[in-house]
């Protein structure tokens, strides 16, 4: 069984990339498994991946780094590993894959075939870094130094010159890394990347020491995440534009409240489902735009899952902001929402 971890910062497009590559594998008759690792109680990404029909497991509560035994247990419980084709794992976004690869090699040896350490970068965010002469974001930089393959995503939003400049920044951080560029959204270069991930193998880990890893974890400890599920019921059925309007309103309220308390948003995600149809909405750090996937017809009763990832704001406050937002939205859109 090929095991491929797709690392990378919040909103870089990991879930989109994994689901698009999984669709391709499924079309070729391959079996694909997916493990998602998030901090929240209830999370958008695994719901979305299951909606697409892939077998998945969820490792919630915190970073894989603290729950490695649970990951190993999930992997140990996968029956007939030799008959499964690919397991994709999406780790918590600040995680350093080299630590994980080091532990997994010790545990599973030849039983699994690890793809090279792969880090996905948000091309849109790096365009902003170039345009505004900002420093390369700290966590992304550490992950690039840790990677064997760097994938620049959101190629559809980049010019050739911007891509060239981004590649230069990446090589400066890690001269030995293999760079690819894709658009997970429109499928550009995905076949080539998939072939590489399936064919190439991780070449030994450069993981330095547990002490250095602890240092790294301290530096990312300001990032908090909350994932909660709510039930909703609307008096009148919501069509696609109305549902989008509702999500826009929720996201704007969350964003304003968190920014006003001095927090910095990394990613807001929502998933609305009534059992027949769904929409997934996402607002990554690089844009203030709400990006919608999926379609609803007339949705009246169902679930709303919200994930908010932000820095410099405690997770209790994130939760408080969610509740405040829900209270406002209820009145304005005349819907009942409760958790
Ligand atoms: N324009 C463009 N948008 C993309 C592309 N890939 C992903 N996105 C969008 O980027 C946003 C974040 O994508 P996700 O796949 O949820 O990112 P993620 O890395 O899984 O995010 P976390 O799980 O929160 O860390 C979504 O709105 C996607 O639709 C791409 O190639 N081009
Ligand atoms: Mg994701």
- pLDDT tens string 66-109: 677 888 888 888 887 777 899 999 988 887 778 788 888 888 88
Token code pair at residue 157: 């939003």
Q: pLDDT value at position 302?
A: 94
Rounded average pLDDT over 215-241? 88
- Centre of ligand 1 from the C-alpha of residue 15, in Å: 7
Cβ contacts of 137 within 8 Å, gap of 6 or more: 9, 125, 129
Fold of 2-219: Rossmann fold (3.40.50)
Nearest ligand, measured from the Cα of 8: 1
Residue 194 and residue 88 in contact, taking contact as beta carbons nearer than 8 Å: no
Of all protein residues, whose CA lies closest to atom 22 belonging to ligand 1? 10
Helix (H, G, I), strand (E, B) or coil at 2: strand
Counts for the chain of helices (H) and strands (E), in that order: 11, 14
Q: pLDDT value at position 168?
A: 98
- Centre of ligand 2 from the C-alpha of residue 331, in Å: 31
Which of 134, 37, 34 has its CA nearest to residue 93? Answer: 37
Asked, colleague to colleague, whether 2-219 and 223-338 share their fold, the answer is no
Rounded average pLDDT over 209-236? 84
- Centre of ligand 1 from the C-alpha of residue 302, in Å: 24
Q: pLDDT value at position 96?
A: 78
Q: Are strands 113-114 and 86-90 parallel, antiparallel or unpaired?
A: unpaired
Alpha helix stretches (DSSP H) within 174-284: 190-199, 210-219, 240-260
Q: List pLDDT tens digits, range 267-291.
A: 999 999 998 999 999 999 877 789 9
Find out whether the beta carbon of 93 lies less than 6 Å from any atom of ligand 1. Answer: yes
Distance CA 155, CA 179 (A): 13
What is the DSSP code (8-state) at residue 250? H
Q: Binning pLDDT at 50, 70 and 90, where does residue 24 land? A: very high
Find out whether the beta carbon of 267 lies less than 6 Å from any atom of ligand 1. Answer: yes
Of all protein residues, whose CA lies closest to atom 30 belonging to ligand 1? 154
Distance CA 6, CA 119 (A): 6
Ranges assigned E (strand) in the chain: 2-8, 32-37, 55-59, 86-90, 113-114, 118-122, 149-153, 178-181, 223-238, 264-273, 278-284, 291-295, 299-311, 335-338
Q: pLDDT value at position 299?
A: 93
Share of the chain above pLDDT 90, in %: 64
Q: Binning pLDDT at 50, 70 and 90, where does residue 207 land? A: low
Cβ contacts of 329 within 8 Å, gap of 6 or more: 246, 249, 250, 253, 335, 337
DSSP string, 110-131: GGSEEPPPEEEEEHHHHHHHHH
Of all protein residues, whose CA lies closest to atom 26 belonging to ligand 1? 282
Q: pLDDT value at position 205?
A: 62
Q: pLDDT value at position 209?
A: 67
Burial 56-85 (b: 16+ CB within 10 A, else e): bbbbbeebbbebbebbeebbeebeebeebe
Rounded average pLDDT over 112-139? 95
Q: Write down the domain spans for the chain.
A: 2-219, 223-338
| Strand (E) or helix (H) holding 253 | helix 240-260
- Centre of ligand 2 from the C-alpha of residue 60, in Å: 13
Ligand 1 pocket test: which of 10, 13, 159 has the largest number of ligand atoms within 8 Å of its C-beta? 13
Token code pair at residue 323: 């509740």
Q: How far is CA 326 from the centre of its chain?
A: 24
For residue 337, is pLDDT > 70?
Answer: yes
Q: Are strands 299-311 and 264-273 parallel, antiparallel or unpaired?
A: antiparallel
Q: List pLDDT tens digits, range 139-159.
A: 899 899 989 999 999 999 999
What CATH class is the domain 223-338? alpha beta
Q: How far apart are the first and last CA of the chain?
A: 39
Token code pair at residue 133: 């002469």
Between 201 and 44, the higher pLDDT residue: 201
Angle separating helix axes 97-108 and 68-76, nearest 10 degrees: 50
Residue 3 and residue 32 in contact, taking contact as beta carbons nearer than 8 Å: no
């Amino acid at each position: 069984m090929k095991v491929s971890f797709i690392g990378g910062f919040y909103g870089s497009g990991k879930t989109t990339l994994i689901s698009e590559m999984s669709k391709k594998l499924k079309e070729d008759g391959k079996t694909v498994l997916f493990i998602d690792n998030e901090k929240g109680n209830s999370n958008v990404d695994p719901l979305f991946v299951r909606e697409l029909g892939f077998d998945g497991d969820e490792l919630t509560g915190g970073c894989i780094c603290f729950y490695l035994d649970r990951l190993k247990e999930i992997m140990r419980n996968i029956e007939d590993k030799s008959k499964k084709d690919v397991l994709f794992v999406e780790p918590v976004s600040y995680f350093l894959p080299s630590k994980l690869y080091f532990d997994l090699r010790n545990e599973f040896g030849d039983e699994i075939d690890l793809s090279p350490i792969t880090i996905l970068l948000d091309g849109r965010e790096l365009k902003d870094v170039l345009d505004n002469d900002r420093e390369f974001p700290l966590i992304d930089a550490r992950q690039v130094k840790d990677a064997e393959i760097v994938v620049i995503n959101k190629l559809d939003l980049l010019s050739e010159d911007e891509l060239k400049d981004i590649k230069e920044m990446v090589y400066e951080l890690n001269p030995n890394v293999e760079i690819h560029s894709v658009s997970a959204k429109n499928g550009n270069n995905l076949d080539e990347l998939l072939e590489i991930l399936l064919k190439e193998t991780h070449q030994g880990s450069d993981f330095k020491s547990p002490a250095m890893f602890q240092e790294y974890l301290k530096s990312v400890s300001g990032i908090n995440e909350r994932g909660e599920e709510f039930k909703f019921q609307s008096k009148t059925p919501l069509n696609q534009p109305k549902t989008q309007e509702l999500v826009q309103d929720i996201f704007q309220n969350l964003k304003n409240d968190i920014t006003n308390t001095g927090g910095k948003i990394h990613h807001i995600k929502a998933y609305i489902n009534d059992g027949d149809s769904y929409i997934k909405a996402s607002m990554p750090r690089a844009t203030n735009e709400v990006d919608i996937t999926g379609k609803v017809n007339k949705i009246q009763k169902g679930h709303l899952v919200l994930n908010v990832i932000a820095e410099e704001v405690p997770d209790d406050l994130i939760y408080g902001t969610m509740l405040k937002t829900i209270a406002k939205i209820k009145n304005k859109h005349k819907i009942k929402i409760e958790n």
